[in-house]
Amino acid sequence: MKRWVAAAIIIVLLCLEGCTPYKIPQKKAYRNEIVHTEVNYDYEQLKEDLFKLKEGHPEKLQVDTIGVSVEGREIYAARIGNGVKKLVVIGGVHAREWMTSYLLMSLIEVYLNHDKEGKKLKGYPIYQLLEEVSVSFIPMMNPDGIDLVLNGVGSRDPELLGTMNEGEADFSRWKANIAGVDLNRQFPADWEETESKEAPSFENYKGTFPLDQPESKAVANYTLEEKPEMAVAYHLSGSVIFWYYNQKDQAYKRDLKIGKKIGRITRYKLVEKEDSEGIAAGYKDWFVKAFEKPGYTIEIGDQRYDQIGADEVYRFIEENQEVVPYLMREIRNKSISFSKI
């Protein structure tokens, strides 16, 4: 009997050295009751989840339609909190980055639950922060493009889409909206100088003029109406944070300080000034330039879009759940001046 035990121990030790390791399932940060899926997270799922959350938290969650997409899908803003000071967080900008929509919806439920139960999250008193700061999530800016990526061409013109996709039948790489315009090259921040393809495409075509697409126009108008103290755009991938867009002096120091803290929270790399684009027309770039306030692009995931599955959301929740409460605290305390410099 002892020989069998000894042999078993030796086999285990050998396997620890050279055998293919057994993949241990990752610990799930939260198992949300409403926002969870085993496969993909599309517009219909988001819509269903959003109104279930509204039903469960009628006094805490405000859902507004801020515009409609090219194909007529509603673009939603989900507001939590009662404060006059504001933060705007957007996701689902690029079609193949649907995971960012799933993440933001998951975070909305996490914050609502902590608020309802009066619990702190990583030491942050969510209930108190939401009394002084409102957070508006626009979880899916590009519902048509996400539908194409996740559900296929459907009744759309396959020839037209195939041309924009450069002859490829696989649409999983699609970034643009359904009209072939990159919504993160649409904002009026040096748009004229921003590089672009010459015609509608699955990626990198900026349109005929700034905000000529209904999705980008809706988000820009909403941001102008809200006048938030800060703005965040979630993208995929790289596990990096973009923060710089030609800020100078005190604004530079202010935005860098906040960016470094976000980096410590998420463990994502802060992109250096020298590696940031000085000419761009993204949402963050426009916000920083137009409002002269802190704006951040947070790129989740260290793998390609086609290598990330729905179950990865739990890792992204764990990495990012503290970001919004931290920014709310900064806005509330105004420990760094957010007035125009």
pLDDT at 248 over 90: yes
Domain membership of residue 3 (yes or no) is: no
Domain membership of residue 61 (yes or no) is: yes
Question: Residue 251: what pLDDT?
Answer: 97
Share of the chain above pLDDT 90, in %: 87
- C-alpha triplet 51, 69, 281: angle, nearest 5°: 115
Neighbours of 53 (CB within 10 A): 24
pLDDT at 268 over 80: yes
CA distances from 34 to 1, 52, 112, 227, 316 (A): 51, 7, 12, 31, 17
CA distances from 267 to 319, 322, 340 (A): 7, 12, 29
What is the rounded distance in angstroms from the CA atom of residue 128 to the CA atom of residue 329? 10
Domain membership of residue 4 (yes or no) is: no
Range of the domain at 165: 43-333
pLDDT tens, residue by residue, 124-152? 999 999 999 999 999 999 999 999 999 99
**CATH number of the domain within which 240 lies:** 3.40.630.10
Question: Residue 205: what pLDDT?
Answer: 98
Q: Which residue has the tokens 């002859």?
A: 167
Number of structural domains the chain divides into:
1
pLDDT at 2 over 70: no
Domain membership of residue 31 (yes or no) is: no
Question: Residue 335: what pLDDT?
Answer: 53
pLDDT at 267 over 60: yes
State both tokens at 214. 């209904």
Domain membership of residue 30 (yes or no) is: no
Question: Residue 9: what pLDDT?
Answer: 38
Q: How far is CA 206 from the centre of its chain?
A: 20
Domain membership of residue 340 (yes or no) is: no
pLDDT at 15 over 90: no
For residues 53-64, average pLDDT: 97
For residues 40-65, average pLDDT: 97
Question: Residue 338: what pLDDT?
Answer: 57
Domain membership of residue 94 (yes or no) is: yes
Q: Which residues contact 313 (CB under 8 A, 6 or more apart)?
A: 99, 102, 103, 106
Domain membership of residue 5 (yes or no) is: no
For residues 235-245, average pLDDT: 97
Share of the chain above pLDDT 70, in %: 89
pLDDT, the chain, mean: 91
